[in-house]
Amino acid sequence: MLETIQTKINSLANGKKLILGSGMKTDEMQKLIALCESLQSEGVIKIVNIHQDAQSSKTKSNSIVVEKI
């Protein structure tokens, strides 16, 4: 799944945004965030927003918005 997401990110035009994570399990979401942070450190994308579930007793991320740079 992460390979598919990375392919989608790579195919984005510069300046375009992508919303990721809807319907993902918690462990997959953590891997996705790690991938996005890695791509951000390489200068491929910018993380615009990480939306967290406020209703949960633990802070869980349920979506992430990235922008191709």
Extents of the domains making up the chain: 14-68
**What pLDDT score was predicted for residue 69?**
94
Task: Classify residue 27 as exposed, middle or buried by CB count within 10 Å of its CB (0-12, 13-18, 19+).
Answer: exposed
Give pTM, 2 decimals.
Answer: 0.84
Per-residue pLDDT of the chain (69 residues; tens, 9 = 90+): 889 999 999 999 999 999 998 888 889 999 999 999 999 999 999 999 998 876 655 667 789 999 999
Q: Residue 1 has what pLDDT?
A: 83
Q: What is the pLDDT of residue 57?
A: 54
